[in-house]
């Protein structure tokens, strides 16, 4: 677990280090020690740019430190049928998880809502959410963390659960963390069975793209499924999502991938990576 903890510390450290630059630049520019205004366009641009750079730094660290290998197996598409099923899988999860959030009364705080809107309303934020986040988070949580744990632990379920739990926790808020954990379980299960990061990156991409499109295409981003489709319609969507999720799991497990990938330890037991 030392390697896993070290990777999480690296990830958080990169985020904190890069996020401090816009605040420092704002103070120097305004000659004050007040907190930056969320409406300051220069500050928003610098914040989102530094977020992208932090993600890029994490990717470089993971590759340079040999936590993730860029070999063919790690990025094999396996089959078109599998990729399509993975897309349907994560779509189904989104259908019932959104309804579950409504039932539980989970909603964003004003601060979180403001941060979310800042991401969604800026091109750099969209790039960070839709493209960069799926890549860096899958390389870290599935490739570097889960992949390592799968090779050293006898119980694959433990590796999937631990990586998913960490994936949920680093999102840092009660709105995203539960679904991030559930999504992490699905992504981790796919990675365990395929041995390839490409399906999980695609699923993560589709999930974030759907959230982005929903925000931009809906007249009111805060509108719930029940408000849009009525109580019966929302329930039907959720039930349809559950059926679709179960069906995709069955297809993947019984038709597309009958045996999990071989997880043979190829790394030294001593933790000598940077």
Single pTM value for the model = 0.91
CA-wise closest residue to 91 among 202, 169, 168: 202
Q: Quick one: pLDDT at residue 274?
A: 62
pLDDT tens per residue across span 19-50: 998 888 878 877 777 766 666 788 889 999 99
Give the E-state strand segments of 157-236 in sequence order.
none
pLDDT number for residue 220: 66
Going by C-alpha positions, the residue among 175, 177, 157, 115 that lies closest to residue 260 is 157
Contact 191, 197 (CB under 8 A): yes
First to last CA, the chain: 15
Q: Is residue 133 part of a domain?
A: yes
User: Can you tell me the mean pLDDT for 77-86?
Assistant: 93
- Give residue 268's pLDDT band: very low, low, confident or very high (50, 70, 90): very low
Q: Per-residue pLDDT tens for 116-169?
A: 888 899 999 999 999 999 999 999 999 999 999 999 998 999 999 999 999 999
Residue 187 confidence (pLDDT) above 60: yes
Mean pLDDT score of the chain, rounded to an integer? 90
Whether 245 is covered by a domain: the verdict is yes
Q: Tell me, yes or no, whether 38 lies in a domain.
A: no
**Number of structural domains the chain divides into:** 1
- pLDDT at position 27, please? 82
Residues sharing a CB contact under 8 Å with residue 14, sequence separation 6 or more, in sequence order? 54, 57, 58, 61
How much is the pLDDT for 269? 44
Mean pLDDT of 226-248: 95
In a domain, 201, yes or no: yes
Span 78-106, average pLDDT: 93
Q: Determine the pLDDT at residue 26.
A: 77
What pLDDT score was predicted for residue 266?
Answer: 53
Q: Is 83 a residue whose pLDDT tops 90? A: yes
Domain annotation covers residue 148? yes
Q: Alpha helices, DSSP H only, in 31-65?
A: 41-64
Q: Which two tokens stand for residue 227?
A: 């408000």
In which domain, by residue range, is 97 found? 75-256
Confidence tier at 5 by pLDDT (50, 70, 90): very high
* Token output for 57: 């730094």
Q: Report yes or no on 150 lying in a domain.
A: yes
8 A C-beta contact, residue 52 and residue 128: yes
Tell whether 56 is covered by a domain: no
Q: Is residue 229 part of a domain?
A: yes
Angle at 168 between CA 239 and CA 20, to 5 degrees: 135
Q: Which distant-in-sequence residues (6+ apart) come within 8 Å of 167 by Cβ?
A: 137, 141, 180, 181, 183, 184, 187
Q: b/e per residue, 183-203, with b = 16+ CB within 10 A?
A: bbbbbbbbbbbbbbbbbbbbb
3-state DSSP assignment of residue 259: coil
Q: How many other CB atoms are there within 10 angstroms of residue 30's CB atom?
A: 13
Mean pLDDT calculated for residue range 105-121: 82
Rounded mean pLDDT of 79-97?
96
Confirm if 23 and 44 have CB atoms less than 8 A apart: no
How many angstroms separate the CA atoms of 136 and 143, rounded? 10
Two tokens, residue 183: 């999504």
User: What integer pLDDT is reported at residue 270 of this predicted model?
Assistant: 45
């Amino acid at each position: 677990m030392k390697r896993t903890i070290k990777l999480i510390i690296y990830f958080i450290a990169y985020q904190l280090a890069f996020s401090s630059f816009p605040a420092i630049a704002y103070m120097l520019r305004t000659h004050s020690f007040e907190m930056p205004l969320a409406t300051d366009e220069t500050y928003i641009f610098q914040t989102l740019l530094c977020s992208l750079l932090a993600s890029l730094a994490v990717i470089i660290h993971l590759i340079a430190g040999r936590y993730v290998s860029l070999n063919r197996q790690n990025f094999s598409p396996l089959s078109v049928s599998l990729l399509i099923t993975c897309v349907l899988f994560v779509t189904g999860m989104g259908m019932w998880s959104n309804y579950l959030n409504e039932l539980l009364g989970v909603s964003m705080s004003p601060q979180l809502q403001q941060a979310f809107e800042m991401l969604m309303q800026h091109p750099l934020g969209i790039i960070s959410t839709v493209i960069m986040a799926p890549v860096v988070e899958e390389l870290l949580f599935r490739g570097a963390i889960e992949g390592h744990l799968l090779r050293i632990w006898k119980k694959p379920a433990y590796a999937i659960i631990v990586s998913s739990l960490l994936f949920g926790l680093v999102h840092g808020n009660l709105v995203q963390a539960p679904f991030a954990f559930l999504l992490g379980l699905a992504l981790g299960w796919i990675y365990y069975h395929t041995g390839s990061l490409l399906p999980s990156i695609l699923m993560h991409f589709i999930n974030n793209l759907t959230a982005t499109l929903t925000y931009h295409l809906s007249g009111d981003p805060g509108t719930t499924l029940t408000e849009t489709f009525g109580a019966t319609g929302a329930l039907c969507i959720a039930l349809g999502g559950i059926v679709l999720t179960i069906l995709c799991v069955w297809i993947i497990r019984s038709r597309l991938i009958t045996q999990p990938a071989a997880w043979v330890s190829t790394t030294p037991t001593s933790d000598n990576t940077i």
